[in-house]
Amino acid sequence: MARNAVYDQLVNAPREQTALATFHLLDALQAFHWSRGLQINAAVLLCALLCDHLKVDLQDAMTAAKNLLRTHEDKLATEFEAIRWYLREEVK
């Protein structure tokens, strides 16, 4: 796996700022509430296209994101728990 500056930023991303950016993306995707499949495809395709553009392996990005999502105790990080609650209450 070739490492670059973007990869280093990916694996060292601050959890709080990443959660905030995630919430902003979720907010934008809600405009397409009539199609959950479209929302998922848009989010995944954005990730794939960004990885391709920035020369980061998609699987590495997914692994980094999964690691950021969980604490060392393998619990959902508080910052992302708030997003999960928002999804439960607002995204039907």
- Model confidence pLDDT, tens digit, residues 31-83: 999 999 999 999 999 999 999 999 999 999 999 999 999 998 989 999 999 99
pLDDT of residue 1 exceeding 50, the answer is: no
Average pLDDT over residues 27-34: 94
- How does DSSP classify residue 19? H
Q: How far apart are CA 8 and CA 2, in angstroms?
A: 11
Q: What pLDDT shows up at residue 3?
A: 65
CA distance from start to end of the chain = 39
Can you state the angle between helices 36-54 and 15-29, rounded to 10 degrees?
A: 130
pLDDT of residue 2 exceeding 60, the answer is: no
Q: What pLDDT shows up at residue 92?
A: 73
Q: How far apart, in Å, are the Cα atoms of 16 and each of 1, 19, 61, 63?
A: 27, 5, 17, 18
